[in-house]
Amino acid sequence: MARPDVIRVEDLPDEVIAGAGEPSDRDRRGYFGLRDQYINAFERDYLVQQLRQHEGDVTAAAADAQLPRGTLYRLLKKQGLDPADFRDSEPPAV
């Protein structure tokens, strides 16, 4: 499909180039690297906000976020967040 016998990096789609190998410092500053950093930061902040608002109740947080509960658990794991850390540790007053 290509005229030259050798396919160069410049001939590959951006998605292939962006996903290849370990990112260098230069890659982290580029469009895809910065986009991933901002998305990751937004995702973590949003999840923390949901867990705080719902006091670690994953079912309520998932409903509010309009996400399936399993998806929310996957995102929490990816971000290293434990819903138990957001629950009130004091027993309710009787």
Query: What is the pLDDT at residue 29?
Result: 78
* The pLDDT value given to residue 51: 96
What pLDDT sits at residue 66?
97
Cα(36)–Cα(33) distance, integer angstroms = 5
Whether residue 83 contacts residue 76, with contact meaning beta carbons closer than 8 Å, is answered with yes
User: Over the stretch 2-58, which tens digit does the pLDDT of each residue have?
Assistant: 566 788 777 777 767 666 666 566 667 789 999 999 999 999 999 999 999 999 999
Q: Provide the pLDDT for residue 19.
A: 62
Task: Give just the sign of the alpha carbon dihedral 21, 27, 31, 37.
Answer: positive
Q: What is the pTM of this model?
A: 0.65
